[in-house]
Amino acid sequence: MSTHCVGCGREIAAERAELGYTYCTSPACQAEYRRGPTVTAVAVNKSGDAYRVADPDEIAARAAAGEFATKNTGLGTGHEAAPHETVPAPRRPRPARPVRQARPSWTPAQEKIVRLYAEMGLSPRQIAERARQNTPRLAVTEALAVRILSSPRR
Ligand SMILES: [Zn+2]
């Protein structure tokens, strides 16, 4: 089968015609027909590179040439890369986990004094009062005492 370029009338290479091209590779015909109906139907944007990538004929040709086989079957068994298989969808990156504050937000010194007073039978309010008098630098509050006493001992 011989196909002739719809632009200049020159004969199109057999393998190119087989891929469905109706125009030749001359720059003039490329410029005129490359963005024809087939291509624009799948175009993702107006850049030349995007057209190149989006061109289904070209993708089919590259797949047939094995270009995708080595790159995209790394996840699989590696020997079932049929030329016309669809290219596997890219794996989605896992959403990043929110970082949890694992460590309590008080110091060992604060915890030590709170637990000490608690063992003496003081309530969180009394602990805060006692700590304010004896160890003001630790800045132990009633709320902090509650939090420390309601957390497991480290
Ligand atoms: Zn031509």
pLDDT tens readout for residues 3-18: 899 999 999 988 888 8
Domain count, the chain: 2
Cα–Cα distance for residue pair 70/122, rounded to 1 Å: 71
- 57 with 114, same domain: the answer is no
Residue 1 or residue 14, greater confidence: 14
- The answer for 151, left when phi > 0, alpha when psi is -120 to 50, beta otherwise, is beta
- 66 with 8, same domain: the answer is yes
Q: Which of these three, 23, 49, 72, is where a domain ends?
A: 72
State the distance from the centre of ligand 1 to the C-alpha of 13, rounded, in angstroms: 11
Residue 121 resides in a domain: yes
Residue 18 resides in a domain: yes
State the distance from the centre of ligand 1 to the C-alpha of 57, rounded, in angstroms: 17
Residue 54 resides in a domain: yes
Q: Which residues pair with 12 in a beta bridge?
A: 3
Q: What is the mean pLDDT of the chain?
A: 76
Residue 65 resides in a domain: yes
Which H helix or E strand runs over 107? none
Cα–Cα distance for residue pair 100/132, rounded to 1 Å: 30
**How many residues in the chain?**
154
Domain range for residue 27? 3-72
State the distance from the centre of ligand 1 to the C-alpha of 41, rounded, in angstroms: 22
Residue 97 resides in a domain: no
State the distance from the centre of ligand 1 to the C-alpha of 17, rounded, in angstroms: 12
Cα–Cα distance for residue pair 88/74, rounded to 1 Å: 11
**The pLDDT of residue 146 is above 90:** yes
State the distance from the centre of ligand 1 to the C-alpha of 58, rounded, in angstroms: 17
Cα–Cα distance for residue pair 10/86, rounded to 1 Å: 33
Q: Which of these three, 72, 97, 123, is where a domain ends?
A: 72
pTM: 0.34
- 9 with 65, same domain: the answer is yes
In one-letter notation, the amino acid at residue 154 is R
Residue 53 resides in a domain: yes
Tell me the two tokens of residue 146.
């509650």
Residue 44 resides in a domain: yes
Q: Which residues pair with 4 in a beta bridge?
A: 11
Q: Which of these three, 48, 72, 96, is where a domain ends?
A: 72
- 63 with 114, same domain: the answer is no
